[in-house]
């Protein structure tokens, strides 16, 4: 396992408890009636995307390690995966905070940016694996 594979995996694994805490926070906020139905749906979406995308990141890093990709290449892919995960899930939370139903907000834009970052990361990983 290269240095990039190791440290990016550590960062992703350490991030998992933050998603777990988000589940706890969701239960507390729901029980306290602090979120309306619209905010609750976006909070759930952001939380679910964060968890799933962390699993995708860990899987992708394992693929990069098995393919023997160079450290710089793995750092780029890992950075794009991290940025995409934060942007995509964070956009839901931001839209819940400032957005309105049926209206575009910067949260929506952030979510779309995250999808683009994840797409570039996965295509770069696929290219790296195919050419290794």
Span 20-34, pLDDT tens digits: 887 777 777 776 677
Predicted pLDDT at 31: 66
Mean pLDDT on 112-127: 98
Stated pTM of the model: 0.88
Q: Is the pLDDT of residue 59 over 80?
A: yes
35-38 contacts at long range (C-beta below 8 A, 24 or more positions apart): 35/96, 38/96, 38/101
Tokens representing 131 are 């050419």
Q: Is the pLDDT of residue 55 over 70?
A: yes
Q: Is the pLDDT of residue 45 over 70?
A: yes
Span 60-69, pLDDT tens digits: 999 999 999 9
Looking at the domain 3-131, which fold is it?
Answer: 1.20.120
Mean pLDDT on 34-46: 88
């Amino acid at each position: 396992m290269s240095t990039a594979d190791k440290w990016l995996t550590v960062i992703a694994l350490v991030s998992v408890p933050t998603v777990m805490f988000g589940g706890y926070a969701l239960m507390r906020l729901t029980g306290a009636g602090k979120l309306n139905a619209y905010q609750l749906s976006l909070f759930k979406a952001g939380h679910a995307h964060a968890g799933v995308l962390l699993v995708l990141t860990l899987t992708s890093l394992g693929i990069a390690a098995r393919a023997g990709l160079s450290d710089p290449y793995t750092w780029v892919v890992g950075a794009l995966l991290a940025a995409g995960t934060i942007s995509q899930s964070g956009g839901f939370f931001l839209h819940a905070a400032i957005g309105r139903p049926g209206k575009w907000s910067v949260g929506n834009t952030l979510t779309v940016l995250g999808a683009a970052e994840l797409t570039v990361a996965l295509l770069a990983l696929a290219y790296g694996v195919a050419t290794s």
